[in-house]
Amino acid sequence: MNYYEISDGPNILFLWLNTKEFHAMKAQERGINVEQVFRNVPKILKAIRRVHIELDLPFISFWISEWKEKILDYDVVIIHASKLTPPVVRYIRRKNPNIRIIVWYWNPVEKSVGLGKFENDGVEIWSFDEYDCEKYKIKYNTQYYFKNVVLPKTDNNIDVFFVGGDKGRIGELVNLKTQLDNQGISNYFHITLTGKENPNYKEFYSNRISYDEVLKHIASCKVIVDYVSDNQSGLTLRPLEALFYKKKLITNDKSIENRDFYCKDNIFIIGKDEFKDLKVFIEAPYREIRENVVSRYDFSEWINRFLLD
């Protein structure tokens, strides 16, 4: 199947909290109807809206954007699981009793919203996290990315790049950076604050950057770092960026060895592979992965797995 091709059939609505996000814009380029869940309002009204939604008060339609006027035109709606979405799901079900509603967990359940919030709404619950799928008996679909994205041109060159939030792991990240420094491996770690600042690592924090900036750094590096949280089994975006852009990967996710795209020449596993071999790993050529394996993680294949279920 061509990776631009979406199966013919149902009219799909893909709802996002922010349609300016990279994945939302790329999904729209593939011909999917992408809409923002809530209408744009000033910052003060966003705070009121959050309270309104979290207290599950009536008249939520006041906040919902223009797609609500066309909800009867859609056969399938896909919406991300978050604390803000359960009332929206109930609204959709009331307005269109026949629509197929897919709630997609892009984060582990324990870090998102409890499954009980969607009880009795007649929805399908899907997740990227294999552990959650087994634990909660919900449906699995892979993480996804976009095969047609072209990296920007850059004159900068570094060996290793990391971008991500602290999430209580800054000590481990700084330790990895130190080991790279000690081996003369050039690197750039862009660590952003996700909670309370750790004063021991104050100098390592950076401000958030756009995904366009992330892509520039990816273009300039040989290796992407993926550092997962404890008890997460689903793929983050980092391994897929490495896969789609033909970059090598350093990761602490030992389960990646069981993935269909795993190749020892391309993926260095912290805690399994020897750090003394890291420089040789980085300098060795990237080994091409079969096209059918890469395509499995493309957005169009992801959508079609929902439709063919």
Domain range list for the chain: 12-141, 158-290
pLDDT at 8: 61
Of 55, 37, 233, the C-alpha closest to 128 is 233
The pLDDT value given to residue 266: 98
Q: Report CA torsion sign: 77, 80, 84, 86.
A: positive
pLDDT at 1: 40
pLDDT at 7 (0 to 100) = 54
Question: According to CATH, what is the number of the domain 158-290?
Answer: 3.40.50.2000
CATH 3.40.50 correct for 12-141: yes
What is the residue-level pLDDT of the chain in tens, covering all 309 positions? Answer: 444 455 567 899 999 999 999 999 999 999 999 999 999 999 999 999 999 988 888 899 999 999 999 999 999 999 999 999 999 999 999 999 999 999 999 989 988 999 999 987 799 999 999 999 999 999 999 999 999 899 998 877 999 999 999 988 999 999 999 999 999 999 999 999 988 889 999 999 999 999 999 999 999 999 999 998 766 678 999 999 999 999 999 999 999 999 999 999 999 999 999 999 999 999 999 999 999 999 999 999 999 999 987
Instruction: State both tokens at 105.
Output: 């967990």
Instruction: Answer whether 12-141 and 158-290 agree in fold.
Output: yes
Tokens of 47: 């705070």
Q: So what's the pLDDT on residue 232? A: 66
| Max CA distance (Å), the chain | 61
Quick one: pLDDT at residue 245? 97
Identify the pLDDT of residue 3.
42
List, in order, residues 6 or more apart from 231 with CB less than 8 Å away.
108, 131
State the amino acid at position 185 in one-letter form.
Answer: I
Contact 302, 126 (CB under 8 A): no
